[in-house]
């Protein structure tokens, strides 16, 4: 009898799957960054975190509302601290020493992501924590505290029905904006240890229950859930799958979760294309000890031939940058 040495999460294929002809927006915590970046590297059409990394459901909801209305940020929406202009709606990657430059980055991204969301086929939302920070002087739940003293914020945990009600209304607005959009929810497997061990579990439970309410309410044809949290807790429950801080997950764990995500959410044909794309990516990162060899020239020619075959077979995948790279490498020899 075959013995299983771990508890495997059963993940059925999604009724609607991603492929190279589809567009996907990823919003939320580090899981969105990890999975979204892998898809970008494989040349899928992805818009990833147009406000930067977001952790709580309210901040993600605020970001989606801003995209829907295509809001234009002004200087009144920014504040200066320690030489940087920041937005409480944005990650620090949008901060800048120059106020106009910060506004330009913010507004350009809102404009392009509004257009992307309008035509997107999938929206993947990753909740990280139900704990939020509310700026005392304005009552705004912030996306990023930007190292402002903790005394200026009120910290509390959102409730299950609070999150459910916010997203019930928000998703209806989104589907008026883009009726064909499919929504996939996930909960980040990364523990927010600063919240406390028990508080973290209560937070994750809140998020899971809210998502369950939404899927039951709207139906699994409109909303789906991918169990990234459960995969780490049950299949990868060993510290060898964690980074040095014992909280974030390791690259091996990210690769494993992405593999499970791909099998559930991406068509078999597109997974086959992505395997060839992965070969091209590895070839681009290859650095020979001595480039002036016939073997390296042959390697470049074979990779260029693969790119040309893929371009002919799958014209939807833009490989111009990769083709130019290998043509230039051949010209150097």
What's residue 246's pLDDT? Answer: 84
Hey, how many other C-beta atoms are within 10 angstroms of the C-beta on 91? 16
The C-alpha torsion from 27 through 32 and 33 to 37, rounded to 10°, is: -100
Average confidence (pLDDT) over 117-136: 97
Task: List the structure tokens of 159.
Answer: 């409730």
β-pair type (84-86, 79-81): antiparallel
Q: Cβ(316)–Cβ(20) under 8 Å?
A: yes
Domains of the chain: 23-266 (3.40.50.1110), 268-333 (no CATH)
pLDDT band at 8 (very low <50, low <70, confident <90, very high): confident
pLDDT band at 3 (very low <50, low <70, confident <90, very high): low
Return the closest-CA partner of residue 262 out of 6, 24, 13.
13
State the chain's mean pLDDT as an integer: 94
CA pair distance 239, 48, nearest whole angstrom: 28
What's residue 37's pLDDT? Answer: 95
Tens digit of pLDDT for each residue in 250-278?
A: 999 999 999 999 999 999 999 999 999 99
Q: In terms of C-beta density within 10 A (0-12 exposed, 13-18 middle, 19 or more buried), how is residue 324 classed?
A: exposed
What's residue 194's pLDDT? Answer: 85
H or E element, residue 48: strand 45-48
What's residue 221's pLDDT? Answer: 83
Kindly tell me if the per-residue pLDDT of 115 is higher than 80: yes
What's residue 270's pLDDT? Answer: 96
Radius of gyration of the chain (CA): 22
Kindly tell me if the per-residue pLDDT of 225 is higher than 60: yes
Q: Cβ(13)–Cβ(86) under 8 Å?
A: no
Average confidence (pLDDT) over 220-233: 92
Return the closest-CA partner of residue 38 out of 225, 30, 118.
30
Kindly tell me if the per-residue pLDDT of 2 is higher than 60: no
Tens digit of pLDDT for each residue in 281-304?
A: 999 999 988 888 999 999 999 999
Q: Cβ(126)–Cβ(31) under 8 Å?
A: yes
Hey, how many other C-beta atoms are within 10 angstroms of the C-beta on 276? 17
CA pair distance 231, 10, nearest whole angstrom: 10
Kindly tell me if the per-residue pLDDT of 195 is higher than 80: yes
Tens digit of pLDDT for each residue in 20-75?
A: 999 999 999 988 899 999 999 999 999 999 999 999 999 999 999 999 999 999 99
Tens digit of pLDDT for each residue in 67-103?
A: 999 999 999 999 999 999 999 999 999 999 999 999 9
What's residue 51's pLDDT? Answer: 98
Average confidence (pLDDT) over 200-229: 95
Which residues does 48 contact at the CB level (< 8 Å), separation at least 6? 25, 26, 32, 33, 36, 37, 40
Task: List the structure tokens of 109.
Answer: 């991204």
The CA-CA-CA angle for residues 207, 212, 216, to 5°, reads: 155
């Amino acid at each position: 009898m075959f013995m299983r040495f771990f508890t495997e999460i059963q993940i059925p294929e999604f009724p609607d799957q991603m492929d190279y002809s589809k567009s996907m927006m990823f919003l939320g915590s580090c899981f969105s960054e990890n999975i979204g970046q892998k898809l970008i590297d494989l040349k899928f059409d992805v818009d990833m975190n147009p406000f930067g990394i977001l952790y709580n459901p309210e901040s993600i909801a605020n970001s989606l509302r801003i995209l829907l209305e295509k809001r234009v940020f002004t200087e009144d929406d920014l504040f200066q601290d320690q030489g940087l202009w920041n937005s409480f709606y944005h990650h620090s990657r949008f901060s800048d020493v120059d106020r106009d430059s910060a506004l330009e980055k913010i507004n350009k991204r809102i404009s392009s992501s509004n257009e992307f969301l309008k035509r997107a086929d999938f929206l993947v939302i990753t909740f990280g924590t139900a704990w939020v920070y509310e700026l005392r002087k304005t009552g705004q739940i912030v996306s990023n505290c930007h190292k402002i003293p903790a005394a200026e914020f009120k910290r509390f945990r959102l409730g299950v029905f609070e999150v459910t009600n916010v997203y019930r209304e928000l998703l209806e607005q989104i589907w008026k904006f883009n009726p064909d959009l499919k929504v996939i929810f996930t909960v980040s497997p990364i523990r927010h240890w600063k919240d406390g061990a028990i508080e973290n579990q209560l937070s994750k439970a809140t998020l899971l229950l809210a998502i369950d309410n939404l899927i039951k309410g709207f139906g699994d044809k409109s909303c789906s859930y991918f169990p990234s949290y459960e995969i780490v807790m049950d299949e990868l429950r060993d510290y060898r799958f964690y980074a040095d801080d014992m909280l974030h997950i390791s690259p091996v764990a990210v690769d494993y979760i992405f593999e499970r995500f791909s099998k559930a959410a991406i068509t078999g044909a597109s997974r086959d294309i992505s395997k060839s794309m992965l070969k091209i990516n590895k070839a681009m990162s290859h650095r020979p000890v001595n480039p002036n060899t016939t073997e390296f020239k042959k390697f470049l020619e074979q990779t260029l031939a693969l790119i040309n075959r893929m371009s002919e077979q799958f014209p939807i995948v833009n490989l111009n940058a990769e083709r130019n790279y290998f043509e230039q490498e051949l010209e150097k020899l």
